[in-house]
Amino acid sequence: MNEFTITKTEIGVDRWPFTVDEVAVQVDDIQAIYAKVGKWVYNLNGVAKKGMPLENIWLDDPGIPGAKIPIGFIFKMCRDRGLAP
């Protein structure tokens, strides 16, 4: 499993999508992507099935009622590191 850490400070308060200040992004050999927070693991993509629902830590977008803050930048970070297609 490959892993890298991202923080609210690194990404920016306005773009940060989680209720916690830091997550470890994990990508396994079948390209399931997870967010690890302490001992808890959350599913970030449709391939990920072993974790808890992301909604538990995913913030609502204050500018768009009913929407969540976008997490696409995480997938781009995975691609940039050669961890996902």
Q: Is residue 55 part of a domain?
A: yes
| C-alpha of 27 from chain center | 11
Range of the domain at 76: 2-80
Q: 52 lies in a domain?
A: yes
Count other C-beta atoms under 10 Å from residue 17's C-beta: 21
Residue 49 is assigned to a structural domain of this protein = yes
pLDDT at 75: 98
Q: Is residue 60 part of a domain?
A: yes
Helix (H, G, I), strand (E, B) or coil at 35: strand
- The count of domains in the chain is 1
The answer to the question of residue 61 being in a domain is: yes
Structure confidence at residue 85 (pLDDT):
83
Q: Report yes or no on 85 lying in a domain.
A: no
For 42-49, what is the mean pLDDT? 98
As beta bridge partners, residue 18 has 58
- 41-59: average pLDDT: 98
pTM: 0.95
